[in-house]
Each structure stands twice: as structure tokens, then as C-alpha cells.
Amino acid sequence: MTANETGLDADYQVAIDLLERLLVAEPENHEMEWLLAHTYLQTEAYQEATLRCASLISSRDKHPYGDGALVVAVDAWRMFLEDEYGGTDVLPVGAELEQTTTGPDGKTVVNIYALSEHHTGLINAVDMALAHTFVPGDNPSVDYRAQMELNRPLYAYLAAHVLYTHHRFDQARPRLESIFASFPDGDMAAYSRNLILESYRLEGDFKSALQAATLRVEQMASNPDGARKILTQANKLAAEEAIAPGTEFAKNLAALDGTKSLSTLRIDPEASDSHAVCAAGPDRQICAGTRIERYVVESLLGRGAMATVFKVRHQQLNSVHALKVLFVRTHDVERRLLQEGTFQGQLHHPNILMVTDVVDMNGSP
């Protein structure tokens, strides 16, 4: 029986020893080298697998194993980084600080870290695989062209994520942009979008974050759900940084809103305290003293990803409440708000906020 049939470590080691001896005698036996690379991968000897794949890639004009070696090399590097460092999204302990810069706000410090030879190995393997023209295999089980097309967004994201994790944002963003442009409806596009916006936040470059969000929305004009997710992320950044999304931001969302309403809530760019707050649509300011049905706004309590919360007082009962006002007014969002209110209104627990009322503002709950 073969090692693949038994799955035993001892049998795999016997196979490795045999293949290595054969290659010493026949160094140009590429079939044996390909089997050895695969066996290394099976036994989790990932770095040895990458070395054999590199040899096969460099000589791929002499044999038919180049396509497989390109794909296996990426997988071997990915699994090696997982074992050695915890993944592509983990900055290695003791990573060398290469440079320190200051963001556009003049106060945000960004530490840029050097890449290890292993992280560089993954990026190089990904770049070679992405640039290569694969041919279909005779057997679907080894059709590396199909496998590459399936994994292309993931492989591209792995390399970009390594650069992002090392705070090499100028190198990461073009790769993330390419993923978003080439695969706009996939999971990797969503992850890339978030990293693009987050990278600007980490640099203290909020203006660029909003410009990037606006561009993403324009690119996804045919996909309202995807565009709203982008705007939600940018709204979250705006709330965290207490900076206004801005007029263009509101217009983009309104253009995607099925009701074509301009009821997007936007932070007032001049507001720096808890009393001058925001506008619910272009014609109405919400600030201290604003009346919303039977409540009077006293101050701003906080801003979240989808809504702003105000401290309000009931005019008749003189009781104090927290009032949530949505950033985004769409039928789906309003429906979720009402469902949330109905559910929480039935709960009675000291650690759960009770919903006591629903009011309308500009015809929306």
C-alpha cells in the first residue's frame, strides 16, 4: 500500500526518503520532484514543499508540472505562515520597524514594518500565480486552471493582507482596489473594502476614507445592498472619528435609496460639542431644543454605525429617555428597527434597555 492509502506518517517518511534518493540519482526527474513536493505538503513540511515548487517553477518549460507547482506553492506558503506566525493577518512578534510616518492629521503615528523572507515568499508566489496563464488539465482532479480561477480572489487577498498587516498601506491598497474591481460581488471584495477604509483611518486620513467610500458606491451603483454596506462602514468611521460624512456622502446614499429621499442623517461638520449635532435631511437641524413629536432633544449621547442617539425629555411626563435616530432611511432598515423595538419591548431585565415608544420623524419611525 502507498503512503496516500495508509495515511501513516511513517509511510510518508519512507516515501520522502525514497523520492529524495531517486532525485539524487536523477536530478532532472521532474515527475519525482513533483511527487516529492506533494508529499512534503501532505506531511506539513511546508517550507520544504515551497523549495521543491520553486525548483519546478524555474524549470517549468521542461515539464508539465509548472501549473500545479504555482498553485501548491501558494498553498504551502499560506499554511507555513499559519503555522509559524498564526496567519497572514498577524504581525509577527519582533517584526522589524522599518519606518515611522505621521498621518495627514499631523498627529497619527504609523509604524511601517519590514517583511520577513517568509512573508515575501508568499507575496512572490501569489504574484507569479496571478500573472501565469494556466491551461486546462486532462483530468478534472488536477485541473489547476479551474482551481486557480476559483481561488484567484483569495490568493490576491492573502498577499494584500500581509502588506496591510505590516502597515504597508501604499502597497496594499492598489492590490485591494484590484480585488474590488475584478471581483466586486465576492467575499474578498467586501473584506478588501473594509481594509481600504480602515487603512485610511489608521493613517488618520479620514478625507481619503470618505473619497474611497464614495468611489466604491459609484462602482456599485447596480448593487444597492453592497453600496449601503460600504456607506455603513464609512458612517461607522465617521462616528468613531466624529467627522462629517459630508454632502456628497448623503447624495450617494440618497441616489441608491428606492424612495429617493434625502433623509440620510449626517454629522454637522462644524459641531464639536454635544449640543450642535446633525441634520436629518438638508432642511432640518437636530440640536438642543429640537422637538420630535412629544420629546425635546437635550444633548447628543453617541453615534453608532447606523444611528445617532440623543438624550431627550418627554414634554408631558418630564421623563428622560434615549432616542435613536437612523442615519439611513430605507424600508429594510425601518422594518428591522421596528422588529428590534417589538422584541426588546417585551423584555424586562436590568441589563437590557427597554423600548418604550416609537415616534415618526419626516414620516419615518
DSSP string of 139-200?
SGGG-HHHHHHHHHHHHHHHHHHHHHHTT-HHHHHHHHHHHHHHSTTSHHHHHHHHHHHHHH
Q: What is the pTM of this model?
A: 0.61
CA dist 91 and 165 (Å) reads 6
As given in the structure block, the three cell numbers for residue 325 are 435616530
Strand partners, 307: 326
As given in the structure block, the three cell numbers for residue 70 are 504555482
pLDDT given for residue 266 in this prediction = 35
As given in the structure block, the three cell numbers for residue 69 are 507547482
Contact present, 325 and 265 (Cβ < 8 Å): yes
Pick the closest to residue 251 from 285, 210, 223, 287 (CA basis): 210
pLDDT confidence tier of residue 113, bands split at 50, 70 and 90: very high
pLDDT confidence tier of residue 180, bands split at 50, 70 and 90: confident
Average pLDDT, the chain: 74
Q: Would you say residue 114 has pLDDT above 90?
A: yes
CA dist list (Å): 281 to 83, 125, 249, 271, 331: 52, 50, 12, 16, 17
CA dist 361 and 340 (Å) reads 18
pLDDT confidence tier of residue 162, bands split at 50, 70 and 90: very high
* Stronger pLDDT, 5 or 171, i.e. the higher one: 171
Q: Would you say residue 251 has pLDDT above 60?
A: no
- Secondary element (H or E) of residue 253: helix 247-256
As given in the structure block, the three cell numbers for residue 47 are 517550507
Strand partners, 309: 302, 324
pLDDT given for residue 25 in this prediction = 81
User: Would you call 60 helix, strand, or coil by DSSP?
Assistant: helix
pLDDT given for residue 264 in this prediction = 33
pLDDT given for residue 244 in this prediction = 44
User: Would you call 229 helix, strand, or coil by DSSP?
Assistant: helix
Q: Which residue has the cell 500545479?
A: 68
Q: Would you say residue 110 has pLDDT above 90?
A: yes
Tell me which of 50-54, 73-77, 229-233, 303-307 is least confident: 303-307
As given in the structure block, the three cell numbers for residue 249 are 456622502
Q: Would you say residue 12 has pLDDT above 60?
A: yes
Q: Would you say residue 333 has pLDDT above 50?
A: yes
CA dist 53 and 76 (Å) reads 9
